[in-house]
Amino acid sequence: MKTTNIKPKPTVFTIFGGTGDLAARKLIPALYNLYLDGYMPAKFTIVGLGRTDYDNQKFREILLDGINKFSRSGKADAAKWKVFSSCIQYLQSDAKKDKTYQDLEAIIKEKDQEWGEESNIIHYLSVAPQFFPIISKGVATINIENKEQRNRIVIEKPFGHDLDSAKELNKLLQSLFDETQIYRIDHYLGKETVQNMMAFRFANALFEPIWNRNYIEHVQISVTEDIGVEDRGGYYDGSGALKDMVQNHILQVLCLVAMEPPVSFNADEVRNRRVDVLRAIRKFGHEEVKHNTVRGQYASGWVAGEEVLGYREEKGVDPNSNTETFAALKFFIDNWRWQNVPFYVRTGKRMHQKASVISIQFKDVPHPIFPIEASESWQQNRLIISIQPEMSIRLQVQAKRPGLDMILNPVDMVFNYDGTYPAESPEAYETLLLDVMEGDQTLFMRADQIEAAWELLMPVVENWESRKSINFPNYAADSWGPEIAEALIAKDGFHWFTMPVKNKKDKK
């Protein structure tokens, strides 16, 4: 998160998995947009790695295609792309071979000489997780001066597939690098609206006094997607919604809602407050898993007039798969601020709407003074923080409808990014890649945060794995998930909040 105007030092940015999907769709467009906005270092080189037989020219063409398709700034500007792409090179290489790291060492040394100063070196591991250990060990063998100050390593998700594997990976990384050199990505933390949670809570005096069990009745965090698993079935079938979304993104958003105010904006100070929340969440026993968690899997159906496959028919998915594509959980946070305030979270694929929304419902007024007909559409105060696609904050309050009678209606006080800030917001990866170049770890996961999140969810993982006889699929494509998810929240007297759908025809 940029807090200074100092340009990052000269940088060698290596992308392991440079020929892959993430590099083309997210990483290169993000670096290109940083370049357009003047944030890239004055001297930089991007080295893409992969086994595919490309030369520099072909590699650049593939990346240009990715920018033209996926960049928020639209098609690349020919002149700007020419300069930017002249800083991109391809290293055909196998991550398993020592030669890869020897070749990289030569490139880094050559750049040091050319630039006349030592660069920062960022190694981005945009590869399948089985390559994290071998590449980490490989880059640690690169023999350059002052490598502790210069090397940074970025690890993509998934970070482990359970607590033990996450611990093992942390142990390995920490034996090779200092924690200050390790950047574990959670792209949700780079989203503009997610970062704004901290500004909203800690730069305004208004909300802090009511941000607790005395005024808040319950909290919902809902991350629904209208797409299915698309072409990632092979990965997803070994993961599922709990590991893919709850263990990382959703728990981190929950931490931002629930954390205590940090005393400063220092990276470790903020991360300490976030991990405190994870440690305070009440642990699940067998009974809690039974009563406070729900899972689901989508069936085939129709979306915007097109027939779509059920999860079990998707490419790369076991036809008898019991992997969940939907998860909903109820948490309690055992500390003074949040005692007895339920936090409901849900996420799912192939649902009716793509929307990531936090809903904070306040307690009702202590005594009703208006006649019953005045309050027909009574709605307790609610704060709706919409992360995406709408980027907004709405405070729902009751107001008197104009007229001679006393009829009340809920109305919204709205801060909408679109209306307030005409310029398009940077993508999460732009924020996060700039942070890596600047050496700011505030929005990255520390080892203890990752482990605390896994520790919390392991009883759910284990319980779900041991109870295979489930009635999947249990929700239709284009629905709001399984009925039992509504029951999870309805038994406490609440309902899942849904954003009004603006134009259903816009759906993919």
Ligand X SMILES: NC(=O)C1=CN([C@@H]2O[C@H](COP(=O)(O)OP(=O)(O)OC[C@H]3O[C@@H](n4cnc5c(N)ncnc54)[C@H](OP(=O)(O)O)[C@@H]3O)[C@@H](O)[C@H]2O)C=CC1
Ligand Y SMILES: O=C1O[C@H](COP(=O)(O)O)[C@@H](O)[C@H](O)[C@H]1O
DSSP β-ladder status, 382-388 and 392-400: antiparallel
Residue 20 binds to ligand X (criterion: CB under 6 A):
yes
C-beta of residue 328 within 8 angstroms of C-beta of residue 481: yes
Q: Which is nearer to ligand X, 122 or 198 (CB)?
A: 122
Answer yes or no: is 7 a known binding residue.
Answer: no
Residue 430 binds to ligand Y (criterion: CB under 6 A):
no
Tell me which of 123, 218, 249, 352 is the catalytic residue. 249
Residue 397 binds to ligand X (criterion: CB under 6 A):
no
User: Given candidates 244, 288, 314, 440, which one binds ligand Y under the rule CB under 6 A?
Assistant: 244
Residues touching ligand X: how many (CB under 6 A)?
Answer: 19
User: Given candidates 225, 237, 390, 435, which one binds ligand Y under the rule CB under 6 A?
Assistant: 225
Q: Which is nearer to ligand Y, 429 or 496 (CB)?
A: 429
Nearest approach, Cβ of residue 127 and ligand X (Å)? 4
17 exposure class (CB count in 10 Å sphere: 0-12, 13-18, 19+) = buried
x/- contact string, 220-249, with ligand X (CB under 6 A)? ------------------------------
Nearest approach, Cβ of residue 237 and ligand X (Å)? 13
Residue 157 binds to ligand X (criterion: CB under 6 A):
yes
Backbone φ, ψ for residue 257 (5° rounding)? -70, -40
Which residues partner with 348 through β-bridges? 224, 326
User: Tokens in use for 11?
Assistant: 């940088």
Return the residue nearest ligand Y (CB atom): 244
Nearest approach, Cβ of residue 427 and ligand Y (Å)? 9
393: Cβ contacts below 8 Å, ≥ 6 apart:
196, 200, 383, 384, 385, 386, 414, 415
Which residues partner with 296 through β-bridges? 326
244 binds, among ligand Y, ligand X, none (CB under 5 to 8 A by kind): ligand Y
Q: In whole angstroms, what is the distance from residue 475 CA to residue 306 CA?
A: 17
Binders of ligand X among residues 113 to 142 (CB under 6 A) are 126-129
49: Cβ contacts below 8 Å, ≥ 6 apart:
14, 15, 16, 17, 18, 90, 91, 92, 93, 95, 100
Nearest approach, Cβ of residue 368 and ligand Y (Å)? 40
Binders of ligand Y among residues 149 to 178 (CB under 6 A) are 157
Nearest approach, Cβ of residue 238 and ligand Y (Å)? 12
Q: Which is nearer to ligand X, 128 or 470 (CB)?
A: 128
Sheet (strand 11-16) strand order: 88-92, 44-50, 11-16, 120-125, 151-155, 182-184
Q: In whole angstroms, what is the distance from residue 305 CA to residue 119 CA?
A: 53
119 binds, among ligand Y, ligand X, none (CB under 5 to 8 A by kind): none
Backbone φ, ψ for residue 462 (5° rounding)? -65, -45
Residue 94 binds to ligand X (criterion: CB under 6 A):
yes
Q: What single DSSP character describes residue 313?
A: G
Answer yes or no: is 51 a known binding residue.
Answer: yes
Q: What single DSSP character describes residue 180?
A: G
Residue 50 binds to ligand X (criterion: CB under 6 A):
yes
Q: Which is nearer to ligand Y, 20 or 410 (CB)?
A: 20
Clarify whether 352 is annotated catalytic.
no
Query: Residues for the chain: how many in total?
Result: 508
Return the residue nearest ligand X (CB atom): 20
Q: In whole angstroms, what is the distance from residue 471 CA to residue 468 CA?
A: 9
Nearest approach, Cβ of residue 97 and ligand X (Å)? 8
Residue 22 binds to ligand X (criterion: CB under 6 A):
yes
Residue keyed to tokens 């997803």: 236
User: Tokens in use for 409?
Assistant: 């209606």
Binding residues for substrate are: 187, 191, 225, 244, 349, 354
Applying CB under 6 A, which residues contact ligand X?
Answer: 17-22, 50-52, 94-96, 126-129, 156-158
Catalytic residues: 249
